[in-house]
Amino acid sequence: LLDGLKNEPYTRRHIIDLYQYADFEETPGLNPCAFLTVWSVRDKYLDVTLHQRSSDYCTAGHINKIQYVALMMMVARHVGLKPGVFMHVVDNLHIYDRHVEQAKELIARTPSDKQPKLILKEGKINFYDFTIDDFEMVDYDPVKPQLKFELGI
């Protein structure tokens, strides 16, 4: 992907597909929920579309966005582009019945006036050199108390 985006940025073949049936037969466990990304260069911007087959929204719905936006930021920096538009397509977004009361509580809360922003600090360029310490979350003001949701595997 990194070489392709550098050498042939405008091809429509920049795709990562984690859904490999042969792997699932050999290794028991969950199939990937967020499984396909399509990477597109638009002028000086790198856009990403994430396809997700399933999302337990209360436990992981928000983290998938953060993870893939961070990935887009690192890849864009590596190939000399700016982060562009992130699109997220979820086929089966659900809330388990054991999470309904907590979900209602979450919806009833007054959100923060601040809009959080994820920033990739200046300096590093090489994708393989980035660490969690290269990111900063600005204006993140979570509403307390934190709700805990049981994982539904």
pLDDT in tens, 28-46: 777 889 999 999 999 999 9
pLDDT higher than 80, residue 27: no
Q: Which residues face 46 on adjacent strands? A: 41, 83
| pLDDT value for 49 | 99
18 found inside a domain: yes
For residue 58, indicate whether it is catalytic.
no
pLDDT higher than 80, residue 62: yes
149 found inside a domain: no
**CATH number of the domain where residue 37 is located:** 3.30.572.10
146 found inside a domain: no
pLDDT tens per residue, range 82-130: 999 999 999 999 999 999 999 999 899 988 888 999 999 999 999 999 9
How many domains does one find in the chain? 1
Which is catalytic among the residues 4, 9, 32, 33? 33
Residue 61, classified by CB atoms within 10 Å of its CB into exposed (0-12), middle (13-18) or buried (19+), is middle
